[in-house]
Amino acid sequence: MRLTRREFVQSALGAGFAATLPVGFFSACSVSSKTGAVPSAFGASSVARQFAASSEIAFPKNFFWGTATAAYQIEGAWNEDGKGESVWDRFSQIPGNIKNGDTGDTACDSYHRWRDDIALMRAMNLNSYRFSISWPRIQASGSGSANSKGIDYYSRLVDALLEARIRPFVTLYHWDLPQALEVAGGWPNRDTASRFSDYVELMARVLGDRVTDWMLFNEPSVFTYSGYLIGEHAPGRKSLWDFLRATHVVNLAQGAGFRALKSARPQARVGTAFNMSACEPASDSEADKLAAQRTHAITNLWFLEPALKGRYPDAFTYLPETVMAIKPDDMDKVRAPLDFVGINLYYRTIASSPGAMERVAHAQEWLFPVRMTTGGGEQGPKTDIGWEVWPQALYDVVMRITRDYNRPVIEITESGCAYNDGPDASGKITDSHRIEYHRQYLAALARAITDGADVRGYHAWSLIDNFEWAEGFSQRFGLAYVDFKTQKRTIKGSGSWYAKVAAKNALPAT
């Protein structure tokens, strides 16, 4: 029996929809748990293509070689100089939310040690730094006048980057919503979109004379899914209603933020860093192929298609317009002709169609009839956080976006791996797995460029080991090691390798 739309919503809301939704509903990059194992009869693309190179691979002239970080993950100084509380400041204090009870209160202390961070980037020959601005450092409660000390911090950082000939590549929202706005309803509240565009305009005015390249959001599908549906990230809510509405309000905010930035700084280049994943069917069956299409729509396109085409992609069996509170003019408001598509990519996702029994057991599968993996498949090697290394995924996604969106400008805004190698007796950190990861993903990217993709830069996640959300400090992604007791930074083997790649603008032969 097929449920009507109203019956579905009632049963989903009433029966704890969130609790029964497949864990891999979105490609939640920061979730290490893995569920929903699928059969091993993968489609054709599951055969790992080798991206080894017998000769050097050159990258396009003026290619951006960068690293990425985010304010809450590195800055610390959570209540200094007039900074307000963010949802992550609040969430991380609650026992049980973060592994080992870690918090970002101090993190890498980059609020005080940013000069050290820039020195690392100089030593790595980098020419782009993707960092985020902490909204509550600028507006303590998410609205009103700006905190001049917060502005000064980012202003100094930008000046020093320019001085070091490193492009400041600024993310305006990397998950740290001012807690006061969460109290007022958070992302499900339409008013948050207006608060966001006011904040964007403010930042465009104060930094836009020196910053030209901006990202409005980092991974909108991850923070709405993990924060409002499954509650593993701040603010820790578990509600289908809140989640669906939050996705729509974020789309409205993306449109409004885009217009605010462009009206303040018409020359600015504006994008968003989307989390993306190559969505493969678990088998060649039509049902699994359809599941993979739905997965692609929800994971990769839910915030891109509204921006570029003014519509939601076909992820669900129907669009729950009423639940999402979509108003008549909204699909014009969500439009944002982005200047570039930022792609964060770590792994692929394998999708299959749930069996009849599962569909009967879980009413929500009438809306989203898909089982999907989180953290990749089972064929490639695994990083320490449990994610599968699968460079082909980067090639596939870049090529698909290139094909489907008329060859947009693409920036790889994040890719990287957790390996927890520490210093040996002489203090050296030999992280050869990380070198191998970036080498292979970069080779896959180079192939996509050869095949026609317009890719302008690659940002390794991350510059330094940092606070990995619900995983706390247990997962190290940095090209430089951080001793969290002394805050001493040491460039790892991978950082030295990346420095050579950046200096030559080419991947060495293997």
* Residues designated catalytic: 219, 414
**At its nearest, how many Å lie between ligand FCB and the CB of residue 477?**
5
Helix axes 432-450, 392-404, angle to 10 degrees: 30
Q: Which residues bind ligand FCB (CB under 6 A)?
A: 29-30, 70, 73, 218-219, 222, 275, 344, 414, 461, 468-469, 477
CB atoms within 10 A of CB 316: 17
**At its nearest, how many Å lie between ligand FCB and the CB of residue 68?**
7
Question: Residue 105 is encoded by which pair of tokens?
Answer: 């209160």
Q: Is residue 78 classed as helix, strand or coil in its secondary structure? A: coil
- Burial class of residue 237 (count of CB atoms within 10 Å of its CB; 0-12, 13-18, 19+): buried
Nearer Cβ to ligand FCB, position 196 or 467? Answer: 467
CB atoms within 10 A of CB 236: 17
Amino acid sitting at position 83: K
Position of minimal CB gap to ligand FCB: 29
Q: Is residue 350 classed as helix, strand or coil in its secondary structure? A: strand
The terminus-to-terminus CA distance of the chain in angstroms comes to 57
Nearer Cβ to ligand FCB, position 75 or 330? Answer: 75
With tokens 């991947």, the residue in question is 507
Cβ(256)–Cβ(309) below 8 Å: no
Paired strand residues for 59:
none
- Comparing C-alpha atoms, which of 298, 309, 301 is closest to residue 332? 309
Nearer Cβ to ligand FCB, position 65 or 461? Answer: 461
Residue count of the chain: 510
Nearer Cβ to ligand FCB, position 17 or 469? Answer: 469
**At its nearest, how many Å lie between ligand FCB and the CB of residue 376?**
13
Nearer Cβ to ligand FCB, position 27 or 364? Answer: 27
**At its nearest, how many Å lie between ligand FCB and the CB of residue 478?**
11
CA separation for the pair 133, 128 (Å, rounded)? 16
